[in-house]
Amino acid sequence: MDVLIDIWQRMTTTHAALEPLAAWLTVGGAALIVLFPPVWRLARHAVTIVHEGGHGVVAVLCGRRLGGIRLHSDTSGLTVSRGRPNGPGMIFTLLAGYPAAGLLGLGAAWLLSRGYDVGLLWALLAALALLLVQIRNWFGLWSVAVTGAVVFGISWFGSPQAQGVFALLITAFLLFGALRTSLELQQSRSRRPGSSSDADQLAGLTHIPGIFWVGVFLAVQLTCVALSARLLGFV
């Protein structure tokens, strides 16, 4: 009981925002992670976790039965849900993946703007725990478990300054990483026409070209970046 009370107190305690220089350096660090290919190849797994989690959450909300999630070492993933192979439920499920990281980043920015940096970290831990029970392969289990261990370590043992920096780093990484995955999606579609990407599956269901859906992904993600920057006082 004492541990639960301690966790609740940590979650609900607000911290002062980072100094402007520290905040800008943290955002710059997130941008470097996304732009530097060797680091991005590793960090991209975190975006894939959110991407597949987005598919899973929306599938359940649309009344589909979630069959499980797989995460692969090449940073791809697969979410299996059962239900009608077409119709609004399937469309929204496919639509959810690419915007998920940007929307999560926006939600994280909202929490940070109110000083709940530790609350954000524990909310992410809870989401990872819920996701873990849906993982259906060993690499996926390892990937989610390691991510959760890192978040837990900072949230439990980190200083308030370290927690604030890490929370902002995650937020900015999600926002920037979401944009890069959509740009990579379009590059991949250009090289391999007729792929089975989310955008192409949406095109098959709606008879609207895949490039339109890539544009939708980017529009949502750019909106999330703009709103987050405003919430956090960067603009």
pLDDT score of 115 = 94
Average pLDDT rounded to a whole number, residues 222-235: 96
* pLDDT tens digits, 157-211: 999 999 999 999 999 999 999 999 999 999 999 888 767 899 999 999 999 999 9
The two three-digit tokens of residue 77, written as one number:
């993933």
Confidence bin at 1 (pLDDT 50/70/90): low
Mean local confidence (pLDDT), 22-48: 97
- Mean pLDDT over all residues of the chain? 94
What is residue 197's predicted lDDT score, i.e. its pLDDT? 93
Per-residue confidence (pLDDT) for residue 142, from 0 to 100: 96
Q: Is 66 in a helix, a strand, or coil? A: strand
User: Which backbone phi and psi does 41 adopt, to 5 degrees?
Assistant: -60, -35
Given pLDDT bands bounded at 50, 70 and 90, which one contains residue 49? very high
Tens of pLDDT, residue by residue over 141-163, are: 999 999 999 999 999 999 999 99
Determine contact, residues 134/69, Cβ cutoff 8 Å.
yes
Length of the chain equals 235
Classify burial at 178, counting beta carbons within 10 Å of its beta carbon; exposed 0-12, middle 13-18, buried 19 or more: buried
pLDDT at res. 5? 79
DSSP-derived 3-state class of residue 119: helix
DSSP H stretches of helix in 133-197? 138-157, 160-191
pTM for this model (two decimals): 0.95
CA distance 70 to 67: 10
Q: pLDDT digits over 107-134, tens only?
A: 999 999 999 999 999 999 999 999 999 9
pLDDT of residue 13: 83
For 200-228, what is the mean pLDDT? 97
Tell me what percent of the residues of the chain surpass a pLDDT of 90. Answer: 88
Q: What is the pLDDT of residue 15?
A: 87
* pLDDT tens string 63-94: 999 999 999 999 999 999 999 888 999 999 99
Q: φ and ψ at 80, to 5 degrees?
A: -105, 125
